Amino acid sequence: MAALAEILSTLDKQKIKGKVLMAVTSNLGYPRLGAKRELKWALEGYWSGKISAADLLEAGKELRLTHWKIQQAADIDVIPSNDFSFYDHVLDTTFMVGAIPQRYSQLQNPTDFDLYFAMARGTQQGEINLPAMEMTKWFDTNYHYIVPEIEKDQTYRLASTKVVDEFIEAKEAGIHTRPVLLGPVSYLLLSKSVSHDDVPLNTLSRLLPVYAEVLQRLASAGADWVQIDEPCLVMDLDEAAHKAYTDAYNQLGQVAGIRLMVATYFGGLEDNLRLSVDLPIAGLHVDVVRAPQQLDDVLAQLPAEKILSLGVIDGRNIWHSNLDAALEKVQRGVSALGAERVQIAPSCSLMFSPHDLNLETKLDDELKSWLAFARQKLDELTCLKKAVSVGTDSVAEAFEVSREALKSRRESSRTHNPQVYQRLGAVDESMLCRAHDFQTRKVAQAQKLSLPPLPTTTIGSFPQTAEVRARRSAKNKGSLTQAEYDELLKTEIARTIQKQEEIGLDVLVHGEFERTDMVEYFGERMTGIAFTQNGWVQSYGSRAVRPPIIFGDVARPAPMTVAWSAYAQSLTSKPVKGMLTGPVTILEWSFVRDDQPRSLTCRQLALAIRDEVVDLERAGIRVIQIDEPAFREGFPLRRAEQDDYLKWAIESFKLASSGVQDETQIHTHMCYAEFDNIIEAIGRMDADVISIEASRSKMELLDAFKQYQYPGEIGPGIYDIHSPNIPSQAEMVDLLEKAAQVVPIERLWINPDCGLKTRQWDQVIPALTNMVAAAQTIRQQLKV
């Protein structure tokens, strides 16, 4: 990819007489974190009191300017603004329209940041303990958004001019941008209603004047185009949603002096195509990476006066683009519409890609030649622009680099492992199910584990202190030996086991101090997977992850967790859970090879995890948790594709989990997702116990279990670990009483929402102490 940048730079210096570059490149969004995670460090510095609000604002301003200049230098014609956020763009929209939940009015004289971060993270102010707003996955990504809470009589007002301010900020820096807004219809469809007898979409008529005012202010500030993201247009929509789109854009399309580019992504428009092309807007963006089949229909139905933005570069993955294939799509668009009506764009915002491949100094040359991060994707867009406008001869070398990358991946011995295919071929139906049904297993497990009613546990990780992180860094740099590092880990594990026993937890964990990340740890111990130094992407707020790169066939050469789990179990008579990440989650939270079906890669991962499960059981571990927080994340947006996904995803989990005896209890964990339409599928996974995030929703997520009799046991989270708040015993008792109305006591577990790695010990110990006390209170109340 460095070669591509050099080629384009050389071309820029050449004078091409008699030719006009008519094609236009546009970008939908850029990574927010910064090349060195500057946003993360600024946010955490502000939250800890180390920097001021003014310092945080300045850090945001510097990042925005840096990212605009990067895109300008890459010759991107249409550069976005307002794609930056200090936490989440959906929360920004909630703030913009003044949809602040009533409970935050209890804050005394809050600053904008006080209120904003209270909504995102929760806050404690004296005796006031305000929980955060609910968080869930953004479509089928690992990005989390803050779910708006809409009252039946919700009123809206323009409460934040961030989008206008950032447009002016870029303008003053000499960069004309296209502001980005989350569309009003998608915003409401992604919201939750506070009233059970209403839907947020019913408030659209009150919301639209705020959007119209924003557009008017942008026009007055000098904006000529605004990108309005309406990703819900790629989903199955009912008649009410269709009407909402028509009503919304009949009004917004009339704002004078501004042209609207409605952006759709993550799938095809399909039955919403006619609706979309008929909206009174100036342009439409479509994703022809995820849904290449829609291009011909879009070209045939797009009205003559409208601009088409073609998403031809994958914004969701990190592979070097097939420039020939991308160019063919662009040329079809140009042939049908004319170059002046086509914009060349990524499929979606580049916020889902790491920042810059040039920061990776440890990847080998072969693997690196296969990749393109956000910065390199800008070069790919510019390359396509030159190919369309000037001719392919002008970028012949760049296209040859693309072809060589594809050929190298296809032919490399690193991507193919015959032994993996032999194992897959030997999988039969007996490997996809436990020996007996849950009721039989339940009896065997009760005899083996001797747990009390309402057993208490945690989800896996405990706080990783500065000392642990410093020692890991020292080991990686070679200043600490592996033996010395292992002794430190043993000390931390022993201390954590002791603390859990003192608190009174029933099923313990070893704490996961050897792990930096729940996917990275396993990927580093499998073949066919590579890791970056700086390939960070935002998960939410300051939380960043480095997704593994699955480039080849996957196998597990040796046990990955057995030694640490067995050591922890040797320290206590209580059961210790073996902690694993499931195959679906490793798949969904990785950059996955695109040269074979995802289902096949998932099965390879399942075999690797199966080997680990069997080895844990052999080592005496009788409770094994296989986390699948991304199971819902992989669920296709369209109903027509969902059954196929569920089939192979469930089979993969069962392949990973079914090699053990009845006495071994299999747990799984899921979080920050809606379960209503997949609850029966979750039941078919046949886990003995499932733990789910439920505290932020005040147990509303358990509604799915009212209609479906889940066959196993359930642990609804009663402690929101993503908030610094310490819930009281009374708050937890209240949540447990709500849970007990849905889940029979004999099938109810008690646990936090998620792992405790990101919290501090002085938060965790009192919170878990309150959790155990709440369990004891309920046991006494119910005399169980």
Q: Which residues are catalytic?
A: 722
- The CA-based angle 299-302-305, given to 5 degrees, is 125
**What sign for the dihedral angle of Cα 733, 734, 740, 743?**
negative
Q: Give, to the nearest 10 degrees, the angle between helix 374-389 and helix 2-13.
A: 40
Which residues contact residue 632 at a Cβ distance below 8 angstroms, ignoring those fewer than 6 apart?
137, 670, 673, 674, 675, 678
* The two three-digit tokens of residue 45, written as one number: 């510095």
Give the DSSP H/E element, type plus range, for residue 530: strand 527-530
Which residues contact residue 721 at a Cβ distance below 8 angstroms, ignoring those fewer than 6 apart?
752, 753, 754, 755, 756, 758, 759
Q: What is the 3-state secondary structure (H, E, C) of 630-691?
A: CCCCCCCCCHHHHHHHHHHHHHHHHHHHCCCCCCCEEEEEECCCCCHHHHHHHHHCCCCEEE
DSSP states of 715-743: EEB-S-TTSS----HHHHHHHHHHHHTTS
Give the whole-angstrom CA distance, residue 687 versus residue 84: 40
Longest dimension (CA), the chain: 89
DSSP states of 457-505: B--SB----HHHHHHHHHHHHTSS-HHHHHHHHHHHHHHHHHHHHHHT-
Taking alpha carbons only, the member of 419, 447, 374 closest to residue 663 is 447
> Any idea which residue has 């049908």 for tokens?
336
Dihedral of the CA atoms 14, 17, 19, 21 (nearest 10)? 40
Q: Which long-range contacts (CB under 8 A, 24 or more apart) does 166-172 make?
A: 166/64, 166/81, 166/82, 166/84, 167/81, 167/82, 167/218, 167/221, 167/222, 167/223, 168/221, 169/61, 169/64, 169/65, 169/81, 170/64, 170/65, 170/68, 170/79, 170/81, 171/221, 171/222
Give the whole-angstrom CA distance, residue 369 versus residue 609: 30
Taking alpha carbons only, the member of 674, 716, 712, 727 closest to residue 694 is 716
Taking alpha carbons only, the member of 734, 740, 739, 728 closest to residue 768 is 728
In one-letter notation, the amino acid at residue 113 is F
DSSP states of 291-307: -GGGHHHHHHHS-TT-E
Are 287 and 348 in contact by the 8 Å Cβ rule? The answer is: yes
Q: How many helices (H) and strands (E) does the chain have?
A: 28, 24
Give the whole-angstrom CA distance, residue 213 versus residue 184: 13
Give the whole-angstrom CA distance, residue 606 versus residue 584: 8
* The two three-digit tokens of residue 355, written as one number: 């920042």
Give the whole-angstrom CA distance, residue 686 versus residue 109: 51
* The two three-digit tokens of residue 298, written as one number: 């879009």
Question: What is the SS3 assignment for 237?
Answer: coil
